[in-house]
Amino acid sequence: MVLLLPMGANTSGSQDFVISMALIAAALGIWLLERAGASQLTSVLRMLKRLAPELLALSFGLSLAAGLVYCGQHNGGAEIPKEDEALWNDINEEWPVLKTADSLLGIQAMLRLVLLSSALLRKGDDEATSAFAMEPMGFLFMASCTRATLLLTSPWEVYHLDGPVGGTLNLACEICAVPLTAWLCRPLWRNIYSLSCILLVTVACGIVASQQHLALADPGMEYLDVLFSWGQFLDGAVAVAFLLRTCGLWTAAKGEFMVYSIMALLFQQLLSAVFMFSSWGQAPFHEVPGIVGKGHPLATMQVSSLLEVGCYLLSSIVFSVSTVLQKELVHQQLELQCETIEL
C-alpha cells in the first residue's frame, strides 16, 4: 500500500523515532531496576519470568521482521511498475532501516497475533479481571474482519502492504486474527447489552468511514477505501472501550496478561500512529488532494490515532495507580490481622 508520492523529510525521522522508542524503553527499564529496591526488583523479575512465553514469541516475531527487513526484498503481491522503480528506490533510501512505511503496519499485525495468542492462553477473555475482554475484544473482532475483508477483496497493488513484511505474510497475519478474536469473543454472546452497543458503534464507525475516506481504489471499488477507514476507526473504538473497562474494573484488573496487554496495545498503536503521520508526504493534519475521496480522511485518521495512543497511556496510568492501591489495601489488611491476633 505504499503511496508513490514525493516523500517528506520527516520519513527518516519517523523511523528513527520508532528505533528510539525501543532504546528509550530499554534505558528506562534499566534505570527503574537500578532505582527499585530488592523486593521490587524481585517482583519485576518474577513478572518477566511469568511473561516468558510472550517475550519469546515477541522476540521471534521481531527477529523474523528484522531478518526480512535486512534482506530488503519486496514481498508485496504486486510488482513495482518499471516507471515507478526510481521513486521506489527513493522511498527505500528515505527509509533505510524499514525500507518502507508499510513495514510499520506489517510489524503491528505480527505483534497483534502474539497478543491474541497470549489472550487465548492466559484467559484474556475473563471479564472479571481483564480489560481486554468483552467490548474491546468485540471491537477488535469487527476491526479484524474489516481488515481481512479489505485484503481479500483488494487487488494486490491497492491496499496490500508492500516491502519486506508485506504481501502474503501480512495477509496471513490479518486472516489468522479473525478466528482468534472470534473465539475470544465468546463471553459477549451472553451479554445482549454489550453486543448491542458493539453493533451500534460499529455501524456508527461505518457511517463516519463512508464520509471520511481516501480515493486509492479503482473506480467502482470505492468500498475498499471505506473499509480502510472503517478499520482505523474501529481501532479507535477498541482503545476507548479498553480505557473505560480499565477504569471500571479498577483494582479488579490484574494478572500477567493485563500487564502485557497494556504494553503491547500501546506499542502497536504507536506504530500505527507513526505510519499515519509519516506516509503521505504532507505535514500533519494536511490532506493530499489527489488521494482524498470524501471529507478530510487523513486529518480524521491522524486525530483518531492520537486518541488511541492517549487512551492506552491513560489506561496504563489508571492500572498502575489501581495496582499500587491494591497492594496498600492488602498490606493494611495484613497489619490489621496481625493486630487482631496479638490482641
How much is the mean pLDDT over the chain? 83
pLDDT digits (tens, 9 = 90+) for 105-164: 999 999 999 999 999 988 888 888 899 999 999 999 999 999 999 999 999 888 999 888
Number of domains, the chain: 1
pLDDT at position 83 is 65
Within a domain: 2: no
Please give the average per-residue pLDDT across 5-16, as a whole number: 49
Burial (CB < 10 A; 0-12, 13-18, 19+), residue 339, is exposed
Please give the average per-residue pLDDT across 306-335, as a whole number: 84
Task: Please tell me which residue, 72 or 144, carries the higher pLDDT value.
Answer: 144
Within a domain: 1: no
pLDDT digits (tens, 9 = 90+) for 274-303: 999 888 877 888 888 889 999 999 999 999
Taking CA 18 as the corner, what is the angle to CA 15 and CA 20, rounded to the nearest 5 degrees? 110
Within a domain: 63: yes
Within a domain: 5: no
Within a domain: 146: yes
Q: Which of 80-94, 155-169, 196-210 has the lowest mean pLDDT?
A: 80-94
Q: Supply the range of the domain harboring residue 306.
A: 10-342
Within a domain: 4: no
pLDDT digits (tens, 9 = 90+) for 21-49: 555 555 555 544 454 444 455 666 777 78
pLDDT at position 330 is 67
Within a domain: 117: yes
What pTM did the predictor assign?
A: 0.86
pLDDT at position 337 is 72
pLDDT at position 312 is 95
